[in-house]
Structure 1
Amino acid sequence: MWPRRAAAAVAFLESAAGGISYAGDGWLHECAKWDAEGGRFLASTFFGGGVAEVRAGEGEAEERVVVADPVAAGRVALGLAVDAPRRRLLLVYADRPPRLGYAALGAYDLGSWRRLFLTRLDVPGESTFPDDVAADEEGNAYVTDAKGSKIWKVGPDGALLGVIKNATFVQRPGLRHNLVGLNGIVYHPNGYLLVVHTSGGDFFKVDPKTETVRVVKVRGSLRRGDGLELLSPTRLVVAGLPNRLVESSDDWETASVTGQYVGPVHRIGSSATVKDGDVYVNHIVGFGLGRKKTHVLARAVFSPLAVTS
């Protein structure tokens, strides 16, 4: 009885702070994004291998599974992106850890949840762990490989168009600096990708047409950075430990960490999204002892940080 009361108390405190708590299956939900037209959050269910929708209301909500693709059964569901102009959801699939082989990108219609395509990205004998995805204005999708530090490019119809590989993605040798490589990714309206390297804390600006890769010089640390969310052409959020606000005044040649949101100490930020102008951070680990865990999308209020030269 006590664990249930404790979980309920935690959920109440977090929702009272402006967050959204909901009941869902499993401990881990890796990524959540706001679907403005649908009026709902969409969350990847990790070991559940699919996507659940969450509609915020009074009290604690409960997720409803909307994607459970039998072709991807037994895989984990990781990063997702709402491709609003084409009203579709992009979802990354990977092998269940510790296996590091399977990699795929699925696309699903946001109205009917009909599968549009499911594209395999891996090649035989290669260790991969696909993690996050972003879409450009033409409908091309870009998937990061956290194991191999590369980016797959998938066309609007699901065709694998190529792989962006560059030695610049590995700034320092050794497992400690590369245990988790390229992770969060966003497409900037000026025509390039911004990508964070989790273990190294490095930040990259990638031209998807020429495959040119530049290191963004960042004042402040982005180590343990995970999912990204672009707030404006000059500001973005890096979810992680902690969650950071990053700004640039020169088209992301350089940038500065200008704010920080720590959040509940028992939660780990893994992705961020924007709803009605507010930033919500998805926390990957649920809370509770029953089959249903309490998951939280915390409304993030960033504390300003002094920018050092």
Structure 2
Amino acid sequence: MSFTITNYLLILTTIFTLIQSPISGSPHVIEFKSPNLYPESITYDRSAQHFVVGSLRHPTLLSVSDAGITKTIVSDQSLPANSSFLGVTIDNIHKRLLAVVFQHSDPSNCGLAAYDLRTPHDRIFLTTLFDAKSSTSAAGANDVAVDFLGNAYVTNSASNLIWKVDIEGKASVLSESKAFTRTPVPDSPYSSCGLNGIIYCSKGYLIVSQSNTGNLYKVDHEDGTGRRISLNKELTFPDGVALRSDGVLLVVSQDKLYYIKSDNSWSDGVIYDETALDSYSFPTSVTVGDEDRAYVLYGHVKEGILGNSQRERFTILELYLRISRIMSFTITNYLLILTTIFTLIQSPISGSPHVIEFKSPNLYPESITYDRSAQHFVVGSLRHPTLLSVSDAGITKTIVSDQSLPANSSFLGVTIDNIHKRLLAVVFQHSDPSNCGLAAYDLRTPHDRIFLTTLFDAKSSTSAAGANDVAVDFLGNAYVTNSASNLIWKVDIEGKASVLSESKAFTRTPVPDSPYSSCGLNGIIYCSKGYLIVSQSNTGNLYKVDHEDGTGRRISLNKELTFPDGVALRSDGVLLVVSQDKLYYIKSDNSWSDGVVYDETALDSYSFPTSVTVGDEDRAYVLYGHVKEGILGNSQRERFTILEEITLESGRCGSIAVIIWLQKSFVMNRIVCAR
């Protein structure tokens, strides 16, 4: 690699800064007051910007602000006598607060209550979860998680099973996997407490802790199949769990918070860090707040179980990684670092890109998406109403050939709706560009069409489509960009279309004269926090758009983008934006009020890249569809390419990668402490 004097100085500055100037900080402690509360579980409400805690003693849910100000949001005296709340979670999509109900006078009749997240927080349902084995030391219903469709999953600590409660409140047993009872239970004060903390992962499974064995399990959310997650060390009485956006699993026990990472979808995991906790305060729950901050609840539950009623102060402690002292370096450490630096300087990492070449005469695909369940790509065609699957080896298969579409139709943007098992494709009519549309197909064979919705725009043309790209949210609502009129359509799960946004922000930037001046809004992606990110080709802008009211604002960047087209989002929050000659890597630490283009890759403009998708392990794939040839009328091409982009993280090493490596090396044995 070409290193400049600046590179060397930057690396050396990083080293000496880390060695000589450790960062200090004081713990961020949120102390709140509520007599005889003894909260067992905590969750964070992002929309209201406060925590929610339950009570071991009362049927009460409190909000707790960052300043420790409390407010009773639920006090449900209609629950059976001597009821209280254990696990709590927020269902942001359906605006509900879910709480596990425990009856001290009749432990066998636990339950799950759902409350409206909005004031006055009316109860939506109360579902009984009966288990004769339930007791005060092993609850028949303990913790709760929720998926995108509103299905709740409740752990049963007494009988080692998982309940599933659908959005209407109907309960069934999801899993009684034999994996839960294979490990011998050691004799301990917690030997009767089995499955405990639970979290839902967006890829379609649950991660569950088991207190009496120290195990973690991965459980399929549809068929309940369970298997133990192999770890590099044992956990001691794990309780609550939480998942950060970067995939790190947080597991709380009575004396430690564990940080666990997996690179194979939780077939196994590595405990790479841990924090000492105050066991006297009896931590039982952990949650993730804004910017992936971890918060542990000190609820003094053991006191509550033993009958104490005098305590009125409880604590939420923010935990974060900081450099409070650099690890003790030996001569070996220094030599290893210096050797690594000079190796990187003198012997740059090499690697050939993974190229997937596939053959389909006259296809000219404009968009690409990745089907994780089938482990293949899906591409459309600028020339035909055809959708092809493309394997990693370049083997193609026609999965949709919809000859019932209007004459001269083809497919532009495509995306997968994994939750509702649908394939969504934007339909473009070359003979009548004003009548574009969105088609939905069953993701399962034989891929029948579910609906075709017309999206009319008189301004639509071959150079600026009235419907271009598509994204989908967890409820099945699709969002389609209109490049001609700079608007965004919303198409609900039934196929009903409406205009979501015609924000004035889309037309504030003057459009320079260029071959793409008529092509406005283009690539689009849905973010799980409730907004869309949209590219605009003719201005180079990116926009953040609210998925409910359509409010749009331009995202401020540190550099200009040149004719941005397709967009994709990695699981670590990095936005990928493709243009005709570059792939941009963009990061934001403030929910996309602004962003930083921190890296870019040169692309082959001749092959006219238009789309990017994210595959397994966050790998980025760019589609070379030669669309410009197709637009100009060429029909001779039969070979097209999908190129895996090698980044800093996967082998294309530059000075930034060296610095990142150094930071990780110096902080390898960092002290995890409270801010």
**SS of equivalent residue, structure 1 residue 266:** helix
160-169 vs 84-93, which moves further: 160-169
Give per-residue Cα distances to partners, 1:71-101, cap 9 Å, x unaligned: 324112100001111111000011228x531
For residue 32 of structure 1, what is the amino acid of its counterpart? I
Give per-residue Cα distances to partners, 1:36-63, cap 9 Å, x unaligned: 1012110011112221111223xxx342
Query: Given that residues 511 and 538 in structure 2 are in contact (C-alpha distance below 8 angstroms), is that contact kept between their aligned partners in structure 1?
Result: no
Give per-residue Cα distances to partners, 1:72-131, cap 9 Å, x unaligned: 24112100001111111000011228x5312100000111210010000115x4535211
Alignment partner of 1:100 out of 433, 439, 447: 433
The answer on 1:66 being equivalent to 2:66 is: no
- What corresponds to 2:263 in structure 1? none
Alignment of 1:168-207 (within 5 A): 168-174=505-511, 176=513, 178-207=517-546
Q: Normalising by structure 1, what TM-score? A: 0.85
Alignment partner of 2:586 out of 239, 246, 264: 246
User: Aligned residues, how many?
Assistant: 286
- What corresponds to 1:134 in structure 2? 471
- What corresponds to 1:160 in structure 2? 497
- Deviation at residue 240 of structure 1 after TM alignment: 1.4
Alignment partner of 1:210 out of 544, 549, 557: 549
Give the Cα–Cα distance (whole angstroms) in 2 for the partners of residues 248 and 195 of structure 1. Answer: 15
**SS of equivalent residue, structure 2 residue 642:** strand
Identity between Structure 1 and Structure 2 (%) = 26
**SS of equivalent residue, structure 2 residue 640:** strand
Give the Cα–Cα distance (whole angstroms) in 1 for the partners of residues 571 and 537 of structure 2. Answer: 22
Query: Given that residues 500 and 549 in structure 2 are in contact (C-alpha distance below 8 angstroms), is that contact kept between their aligned partners in structure 1?
Result: no
Distance 1:250 1:71, change over 3 A: same
- Deviation at residue 176 of structure 1 after TM alignment: 2.5
Give the Cα–Cα distance (whole angstroms) in 2 for the partners of residues 247 and 137 of structure 1. Answer: 23
Distance 1:159 1:290, change over 3 A: closer
- The structure showing larger relative contact order (alpha-carbon pairs under 8 Å, at least 6 residues apart) is 1
Give the Cα–Cα distance (whole angstroms) in 2 for the partners of residues 225 and 126 of structure 1. Answer: 21
- Deviation at residue 305 of structure 1 after TM alignment: 9.6
**SS of equivalent residue, structure 1 residue 118:** strand
Query: Given that residues 273 and 281 in structure 1 are in contact (C-alpha distance below 8 angstroms), is that contact kept between their aligned partners in structure 2?
Result: yes
For residue 529 of structure 2, what is the amino acid of its counterpart? N
Give the Cα–Cα distance (whole angstroms) in 1 for the partners of residues 379 and 391 of structure 2. Answer: 11
Give per-residue Cα distances to partners, 1:175-198, cap 9 Å, x unaligned: 737421000000001000000101
For residue 544 of structure 2, what is the amino acid of its counterpart? K
Alignment of 1:19-34 (within 5 A): 19-26=355-362, 28-34=364-370
Give the Cα–Cα distance (whole angstroms) in 2 for the partners of residues 255 and 167 of structure 1. Answer: 21
- What corresponds to 2:574 in structure 1? 235
Query: Given that residues 234 and 251 in structure 1 are in contact (C-alpha distance below 8 angstroms), is that contact kept between their aligned partners in structure 2?
Result: no
- What corresponds to 1:41 in structure 2? 377
Give per-residue Cα distances to partners, 1:246-300, cap 9 Å, x unaligned: 111111000011111113353222111122221111112189x995611111011
Query: Given that residues 198 and 224 in structure 1 are in contact (C-alpha distance below 8 angstroms), is that contact kept between their aligned partners in structure 2?
Result: yes
Alignment partner of 1:75 out of 386, 405, 409: 409
Give the Cα–Cα distance (whole angstroms) in 1 for the partners of residues 587 and 388 of structure 2. Answer: 32
Give the Cα–Cα distance (whole angstroms) in 2 for the partners of residues 227 and 86 of structure 1. Answer: 23
Query: Given that residues 263 and 300 in structure 1 are in contact (C-alpha distance below 8 angstroms), is that contact kept between their aligned partners in structure 2?
Result: no
Query: Given that residues 501 and 551 in structure 2 are in contact (C-alpha distance below 8 angstroms), is that contact kept between their aligned partners in structure 1?
Result: no
Give the Cα–Cα distance (whole angstroms) in 1 for the partners of residues 374 and 571 of structure 2. Answer: 22
For residue 560 of structure 2, what is the amino acid of its counterpart? S
Alignment partner of 2:448 out of 83, 101, 114: 114
Give the Cα–Cα distance (whole angstroms) in 2 for the partners of residues 62 and 95 of structure 1. Answer: 28
Higher strand share: 1
